Structure 1
Amino acid sequence: MWLVAPIALLIVGALSLAVYHYAYELFAHAADRHEPPKPVNVSDVVKTTVTVLTLIGAVLAGIYAYRKQLLAEGDARRADASQLADRYTTAAEQLGHERAAVRLAGVYALARLADDWIDQRQVCIDVLCAYLRMPYEPHPAEATHKEGEREVRLTIIRTIRDHLRHPDTPTSWTENFLDFTGATFDGGDFTDSHFHGRADFRRAIFPSGIIDFRRAVFSGTVIFRTTKFSGSTVDFTHAEFSGGTVDFTGATFSGGTVSFRDVLLRSGEINFEGAEQTGGTVDFTHARSDGTQINWGPFPHPPEP
């Protein structure tokens, strides 16, 4: 303080003197051009000097206030980021809890965090998808079965579905990457979902239950490569495939039912190359194709519209 104050006063004094001399020169030049010549009005010089110094002070004060605001906003952003990171840590810990009720709380907490934390939304989604990719034993008689685990997994699927139904909302996940690689689905509701980004069901297993994709819209890249449909009912009734790529290359249909009834194949590309049907039912009744590039593989072509 004792060092900065004298330096500041010296700077202000030097600036004031410089402004005063400059203003005096201007007034003197104007007075010399006057006929007859007039003496310089020192009062006008002082007023001009004070006015200029006031304007300079106002500008410096504005710059200081703006800088202070930026620092405050930076502190606020860091505080928000710290709070969001704490929420993430808490939610992740809840997902790993032994009790199903706590894991359910973690699902909802992570979904709310994804809505609030746009910069790290994909990370939150990745954690939820990673949970579905973890080893899962649906049969209660098995030693590795977890009490309430199926309800937790179905809740994650419903949570993802809810964020895929309304593409125009700020909390939509329709453009985000959904990685279900190798996941086991023994149930799940994706009705009315919009897949505009990339959804990867590669090597996923559908052993039982009902997985509902009715009225879903696929306009991004959806991958079912080497997926195993071995006993579940997977329902794509009235789904729309438009503009994206849907890949069933190498998929195995060995049981259950996969229904493509009344689907609309509008544009884009659908590939069943290398797919194999050894059992179960694959139903293309009333499927309509309109400009879609389709490699049907082993399946019969649906009738043209």
Structure 2
Amino acid sequence: MTSSRVWGFMKAHPIATAIALTTAAVAILVSVPLVLVDISGGGRLKGKDLADAVANERRTVLATLAGIAAAIGLFYTAMRHHLDRENHTLALENHKLALESAQLDRESAQLGRDSNVTERYTRAVEQLGHTSIAIRLGGLYSLDRIAVDSERDRDTILEVICAFVRDRTRARPSATPETDAPTAPETDVAAALSLLTRPKSWINSTVDINGANLTGANLFRANLTRANLGGANLGGANLTRANLTGAYLGGVTLTRAKLTGANLTGAYLGGVTLTRAKLTGADLTNAFLTNADLTGADFTNADLNGAVGLDTVVGLP
């Protein structure tokens, strides 16, 4: 029987162990001194001499038993320390296994989420090319939901929605400068613009819809901060109170556009066409207006403080 098993038995049966050890000790104290006296020739002793010889041997046996007991105590202590160390090691190993299991569970869950996101993304992108406008709308809103759920896919989804707007609008007929009420973009394009320009959104990168034909678009209060609108057609669009801070509008057409109260601080409007546009109360502080056409535009109460290129514009009141 190994020491670990002996210790395990003694720990599991303390009363039986104590009784066995006590019985053994008593038996040894009673019998062993008599045997030792007899071996040493004390068998010829009588009376008090025999009793003294047995007492002496008993003291010797008792001292020996005390030493053995001390040794057993040390053995107990060593075994307890050994088992405690083994239990501690086992606990550490169990903790490590638990951590590894938890990590595997997390990785498995992440793989499941990634697989789910990939499937949802693929299906949503396929929907954007469908002939049914309702299905295209479903694809757009699915992409928006994925972007909310998956931070790492947001930039890709932003690029996809921007490309959708550019591709879906470039074939639209452009409104003429004389058109008072240009046709608004289709419902799916309007929905995409709403997702791209909400004041509070998951979008942290640049909205790039350069060259898009967005005549008649409703972009009221749109958030187009630092957006790239270069070469886009926004004739007749409603940009009332839109935020275009730092936006790039180089060569943009804004004929008859409504920019009342719009924030164009630091925006680039080089070569922009703002003929008959309404910029009442607009903020163009530090805006770049080099070679802009402002013929017939309404700048009532507009702030042009620090605007660059005013000496090159056409039609400034």
- Check whether the contact 2:229–2:250 (CA below 8 A) recurs between aligned residues: yes
Q: Give, as a single letter, the amino acid of the residue that structure 1 aligns with 2:171.
A: Y
- In structure 1, distance between residues paired with 2:298 and 2:202: 31
Q: Which residue of 1 aligns with 2:247?
A: 222
**Alignment size in residue pairs:** 236
Q: Give per-residue Cα distances to partners, 1:200-240, cap 9 Å, x unaligned.
A: 01111234xx4222222334x311111233x5x32221123
1:47-77 Cα offsets, whole Å, 9 max, x none, are 0111111111111111111111112111111
Distance 1:246 1:121, change over 3 A: same
Which residue in the other structure is 1:20 paired with? none
Residue 217 of structure 1 aligns to a residue whose secondary structure is coil
Amino acid at match of 1:109: S
Show structure 2 runs of 5+ residues with no match. 5-69, 175-183
Q: How far apart, CA to CA, are the structure 2 residues paired with 1:218 and 1:97?
A: 32
Q: Which residue in the other structure is 1:201 paired with?
A: 229
Tell me the residue number matched to 1:118. 151
Contact 1:138 1:150 in 2 (8 A): no
Paired residue for 2:280, among 261, 264, 267? 261
- Quote how far apart the aligned CAs of 1:108 are: 1.6
Structure (1 or 2) with the greater helix fraction: 2
Alignment root-mean-square deviation, CA: 2.6
User: Counterparts of 2:260 and 2:219 in 1: how far apart (Å)?
Assistant: 12
Supply the AA of the counterpart residue of 2:259: F
Matched with 2:273 is: 252
Larger strand share, 1 or 2:
1
Q: Which amino acid aligns with 2:263?
A: E
Residue number among 186, 198, 206 corresponding to 1:150 in the alignment: 186
* Residue of structure 2 in register with 1:192 after alignment: 221
* C-alpha contact 1:183 1:204 (8 A) present in aligned 2: yes
Distance verdict in 2 for CA 1:202–1:289, change over 3 Å = closer
SS in 2 for 1:172: coil
> Which whole-Å CA distance do the structure 2 matches of 1:276 and 1:92 have between them?
39
- Correspondence for 2:207 among 159, 178, 193: 178
Structure 1 residue runs of 4+, over 6 Å off? Answer: none
- Structure 1 equivalent of residue 300 of structure 2: 285
1:300 positional shift? 7.0
Instruction: State the partner residue of 2:77.
Output: 44
Q: Which residue of 1 aligns with 2:287?
A: 270
- Which one has the largest radius of gyration? 2
Deviation, 1:265, is 4.2
Quick one: structure 1 residues 274 and 301, their matched pair in 2 at CA, closer, same or farther if it must change by over 3 Å?
closer
1:177 CA displacement: 1.2
Structure-2 separation of matches of 1:154 and 1:45: 80
Q: For the Cα contact (< 8 Å) 2:288–2:308, is it kept in 1?
A: yes
Q: Which of the residues 214, 238, 243 maps onto 1:212?
A: 238
- For residues 223-278 of structure 1, give each alpha carbon's deviation from its aligned partner in whole angstroms, at most 9, with x where no partner exists: 1111233x5x3222112344xx310112234x5x3222112345xx310112235x
* C-alpha contact (below 8 Å) 2:227/2:244 kept by paired residues: no
Give the TM-score taking structure 1 as reference length: 0.69
Q: Match for residue 22 of structure 2?
A: none
Counterpart Cα distance in 2 of 1:75 and 1:258: 57
The alignment partner of 1:270 has SS state of: coil
In 2: Cα distance, 1:149 partner to 1:288 partner: 31
1:186 Cα offset (Å): 1.9
| Alignment deviations for residues 107-163 of structure 1 (CA, whole Å, 9 cap, x no partner) | 222222222221111211211111111132249xxxxxxxx97222112112223xx
Deviations along 1:144-192, one digit per CA (max 9) or x if unpaired, are xxxx97222112112223xx313xxxx432x321011110012223222
Per the alignment, do residues 248 and 259 of structure 1 end up closer, same or farther by CA in structure 2, a change over 3 Å counting? same
- 2:76 partner amino acid: S
* 3-state SS of 1:223 partner: coil
Distance in 2 separating the partners of 1:193 and 1:150? 18
Tell me the distance in 2 between the aligned counterparts of 1:158 and 1:184.
15
2:257 aligns with 234
Output the amino acid matched with 2:301. Answer: H
The residue type paired with residue 261 of structure 2 is H
- Amino acid across the alignment from 2:131: E
Alignment of 1:28-39 (within 5 A): 39=71
Structure 2 counterpart of 1:137: 172
Structure 2 distance, partners of 1:137, 1:195, is 22
The one of 80, 103, 109 equivalent to 1:70 is 103
Aligned to 2:199: 165
